[in-house]
Structure 1
Amino acid sequence: MKKKVLVTGSDGFIGSHLVEALVRKGFDVRAFILYNSFNSWGWLDNCAPDVNGKFEVFAGDIRDPAGVRSAMQGCDAVLHLAALIAIPYSYYSPDTYVETNIRGTLNILQAARDLGVKVIHTSTSEVYGTAKFVPITESHPLQGQSPYSATKIGADQLALSFYSSFDLPVTVIRPFNTYGPRQSARAVIPTIIGQIAAGGSQIKLGASSPTRDFNYVMDTVNGFIAALNSSNGIGEVINLGSNYEISIVDTVKLIAQVMNREVSIISDEQRLRPDKSEVERLWASNKKAHDLLGWSPEYGGLEGFSRGLAKTIQWFSVPENLAKYKVDIYNV
């Protein structure tokens, strides 16, 4: 019998790739998307032809406990990706992040506990804040340097508390900076690619000195599936990262090189985070993911990052894909 899984946040960047991968691997997938009056399924409206029509769609809102419980009926596991993730927007609307990221996660956990469903909960490298040591292991201190990261810390701790208190099978997956086709324009790599693809030579960015550990989306997806298929991660927090650190300015140079363009960087004040909120350094240790899940990135190191960027640039260079992005404005 096929394992039935619920994927929240299926209409988003990582979620849509995850739905496609799960369908291809033979899972019975129910895709939870955010209800809207346009009946849009987000990126699933443009899913691959071999996957189209082979998954169930549930339109709802993770802030609604009754809807969450209904969506989870009959499922063996839930991969919980739904969240508000834009850091700048969390400065303006922190209450919305509490309701979605904390209250929404509580709804997932309560329903899973009652229905006997395994939970794969999505964290973020932002919960670590600026690295106190590198590479960052799962024992690194947690630092809520933005309302977004604070709500994700809260959601993570709720998830782990349900494991400790109720023996709910929970694994917390902590992806570092995932990138790839379909990523939101509010993220730095689509921002850079979009401006260059639209003909720009002066690239508007916020801080360019921070470093990040970029993880190609299919590596992130494979990490989720590894956690789903294993019991070794239950009760654990597990980083998914490439174990490769690169600055934003060097990322710009690498993208420009792949796109064969000469560019310069302009610091755009509205894109800068408040000083104490900027995360200056992220670099993942992925040893635990390898040891517990047998997961290793296929796009690790400079060579892997270059390959992942080439795939991402190729996707953004398709006119109908680029047309979905507002590259000429700051996307909060």
Structure 2
Amino acid sequence: MKILVTGGAGFIGGHIAERFVVDGHDVVALDNLDPFYDVDIKRHTIERCREHASSGDGRYELVEGDVRDADLVSELVADADYVYHQAAQAGVRQSVENPRKYDEVNVDGTLNLLDAARETGIERFVMASSSSVYGKPRYLPYDEEHPTTPVSPYGASKLAAERYVCAYSEVYDLSAVALRYFTVYGPRMRPNMAISNFVSRCLDGRSPVVYGDGSQTRDFTFVEDVVEANVALLDTDAADGEAINVGSTDNIEIETLAEEIRDQLAPDLDLVYEDRHDADAEHTHASTERAAELLGYEPEYTIREGVSAFIDWYRENREWYEPLVRNS
């Protein structure tokens, strides 16, 4: 199959592209190599995909470009069977500073892809949405019927984009689905995320920094579980027009997470506390019943298992990854 992965050099998109190449598919990764975080992390992802392709797996091509370029998007979608739209302007806090860029990339970029997809007639369109669409919880865990009242421009842009995906599925008979990711982590993750930051600081003998009092809770989802949810969408059309949670099996307080990483790596360190940003969610926790029903989704990693796997990977790749974490 020919698969276009937007954001295909990024964290989640890169893992999805790599998996599809390993599975023998022909992958085109569209990425603008935005320096939102150190681009060398993306270059490691690109090289891994190229290595898989050169060893006889599927084909791989990187196209450096932007989802805001409607002509380029149309050209790439016309040659694809499936579109996995993972490209986005990420960052809840940064969206407060520049909300219009988030609208341009996350909403207009998605519309460019959707327009190209309905004109071409692809097999399926899969969009990466976010738990940020929910906003302040009225109850937990979030199920897909929970009101969507995002509290950041990032969350608002992801909600607008996923609503377009579902609307296009309805009115244009486009096979399309949105997956609402819950705080994804794992190898090659963005350096400014909590888990990579805690691990890096502890291994360097520096105290982990917790924003707020640490009572916030997160449903952290290991990237391999997210990849499996995406792969499942190659084989079923049961989820057309749906927005579906993709989370883990549990959630954890940020302070507890920092303590557990600290206790494993540098038990003599004290935690450091700084002010929490207003746009950060207080709590997240996913109900994954719909994903289980429609996709057969069963996350394999608890937060503790996933963090342990990430620490092992971090140690093996510390020579190149850690300097990028510290300098980002």
TM-score when normalising by structure 1:
0.90
- SS of 2:271's partner is strand
Query: What is the aligned partner in structure 2 of residue 132 from structure 1?
Result: 138
Query: Equivalences for 1:1-332 in 2 at 5 Å?
Result: 3-34=1-32, 42-47=43-48, 50-53=51-54, 54-117=59-122, 118-200=124-206, 202-207=207-212, 208-269=214-275, 272-274=276-278, 277-299=279-301, 304-317=302-315, 318-326=318-326
Q: Distance in 2 between matches of 1:230 and 1:42?
A: 32
Q: Distance in 1 between matches of 2:134 and 2:34?
A: 33
Q: Cα offset for 1:35?
A: 5.7
CA contact (8 A) 1:174 1:240 kept: yes
Question: Which runs of at least 4 in structure 1 moved beyond 6 Å after TM superposition?
Answer: none
Q: Deviations over 1:181-213 (max 9, x none)?
A: 11112211111112112221x222312211010
Q: Cα offset for 1:48?
A: 6.0
Q: Distance in 1 between matches of 2:33 and 2:326?
A: 23
Q: Cα offset for 1:226?
A: 0.8
Q: Cα offset for 1:155?
A: 0.6
Q: CA RMSD in A?
A: 2.0
Q: How many residues align?
A: 317
- Between 1:42-51 and 1:168-177, the stretch displaced more is 42-51
Q: Distance in 2 between matches of 1:240 and 1:46?
A: 28
CA contact (8 A) 1:65 1:107 kept: yes
Q: Which amino acid aligns with 1:57?
A: L
CA contact (8 A) 1:180 1:217 kept: yes
Q: Distance in 2 between matches of 1:176 and 1:36?
A: 22
CA contact (8 A) 2:192 2:325 kept: no
Q: Deviations over 1:224-282 (max 9, x none)?
A: 1112321111111111111301110011112123325333222223xx212xx331111
CA contact (8 A) 1:5 1:76 kept: yes
What are structure 1's unaligned runs of at least 5 residues? none
Q: Which amino acid aligns with 1:155?
A: A
TM-score when normalising by structure 2:
0.91
